[in-house]
């Protein structure tokens, strides 16, 4: 279940409340089931996946990709698997922990673990959204945000792209005031 935290300390866990709070950003959040395929569930329980296993996971979930291709012009997808035993994990993630935007939408389907997206709203306030398994998020192009992993430092996420060129972070220099980075 997604958790939205405001700077004031207010927390929301209901999708309609979270959607209302994120409406000014046009961020989309939905629940997508991974289903009950035992082979897929076994792969998702593993800490690491080799390339063949990643492709098996992607193919098992390609119904969502087909919908995105038809409805929104998405052209490619991949699976990112991060866990505490990846060498230089903190350095890898550091480039996303500062405020930035992208020229393309950032679209993720979390299938294991969790991640935290922080957002700067149009009024300058900041919020953090923890997204968990079976949650899909679309962060529109140009939305000022940051990303970090929770203390578990574990996530499996399908990433969807119209093009991969528009997904380079463009740093804004905005300071993150949100205390959750310190809390994890």
Q: Annotated binding residue at 100?
A: yes
Domain that holds residue 149: 3-179
Average pLDDT over residues 29-54: 96
Burial 44-77 (b: 16+ CB within 10 A, else e): beeeebeeeebebbeebbeebbeebbeeeebeeb
Q: Is residue 53 part of a domain?
A: yes
Alpha-carbon distances of 38 from 31, 41, 42, 44, 177, rounded to whole Å: 20, 5, 6, 10, 42
- Average pLDDT of the chain? 92
Q: Annotated binding residue at 148?
A: no
Q: Is residue 96 part of a domain?
A: yes
Q: Is residue 38 part of a domain?
A: yes
pTM, rounded to two decimals? 0.91
Q: Across the strands, what pairs with 80? A: 157
What is the domain count for the chain? 1
Give the per-residue pLDDT at 178: 75
Q: Is residue 184 part of a domain?
A: no
In the block, which residue shows the tokens 């997508």? 32
Q: For residue 150, what is the domain's CATH number? A: 2.60.120.10
Q: Annotated binding residue at 145?
A: yes
Q: Poorest-confidence range of 22-26, 112-116, 162-166?
A: 162-166
Q: Is residue 119 part of a domain?
A: yes
Q: Is residue 34 part of a domain?
A: yes
Q: Annotated binding residue at 102?
A: yes
């Amino acid at each position: 279940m997604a958790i939205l935290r405001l700077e004031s300390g207010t927390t929301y866990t209901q999708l309609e409340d979270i959607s209302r709070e994120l409406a000014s950003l046009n961020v989309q959040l939905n629940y997508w089931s991974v289903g009950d395929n035992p082979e897929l569930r076994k792969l998702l329980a593993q800490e690491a996946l080799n390339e063949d296993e990643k492709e098996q996971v992607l193919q098992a979930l390609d119904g969502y990709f087909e919908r995105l291709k038809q409805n929104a012009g998405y052209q490619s997808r991949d699976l990112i698997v991060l866990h505490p035993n990846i060498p230089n994990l903190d350095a890898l993630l550091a480039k996303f922990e500062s405020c930035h935007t992208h020229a393309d939408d950032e679209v993720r389907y979390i299938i294991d673990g969790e991640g935290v997206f922080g957002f700067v709203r149009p009024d300058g306030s900041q919020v953090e959204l923890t997204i968990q398994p079976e949650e899909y998020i679309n962060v529109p192009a140009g939305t000022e945000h940051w990303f970090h992993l929770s203390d578990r430092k574990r996530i499996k996420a399908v990433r969807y792209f119209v093009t991969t060129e528009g997904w380079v972070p463009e740093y804004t220099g905005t300071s993150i005031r949100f205390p959750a980075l310190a809390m994890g």
